[in-house]
Amino acid sequence: MCSYILCKRQFTDLYELQSNYLDKFHQRLWLIMKIMADINNDFYQLINVNISVNNSSSDVQVYIHQRTIHGQKKKVST
């Protein structure tokens, strides 16, 4: 019997960017990672990484990157 692990984690933390166009006191990098198992494919997982750069004097800029990584199904003995 095989068991499939669905994992959904969110990491949010402050991170200072070294950049001239952002206000030094309002620099924030929000990194959200969601790991989802594809139930149609036992051996691959899709990772979505969203990076949002926020500044009080400008609009929010969002960068989205997707990557498929090789995963393994976990066998559970009964």
Q: Using 50, 70 and 90 to split pLDDT, how confident is the model at 65?
A: low
Span 36-64, pLDDT tens digits: 555 555 555 555 555 555 555 666 666 66
At 74, is the pLDDT very low, low, confident or very high (cuts 50, 70, 90)? Answer: low
Q: Yes or no: say if 5 and 78 are a contact pair by the CB < 8 Å rule.
A: no
The per-residue pLDDT for 5 is: 39
pLDDT score of 25 more than 60: no
Sequence-distant (≥ 6) Cβ neighbours of residue 30 within 8 angstroms: 12, 50, 51, 52, 54
Mean pLDDT score of the chain: 52
Residue type (1 letter), 21: Y
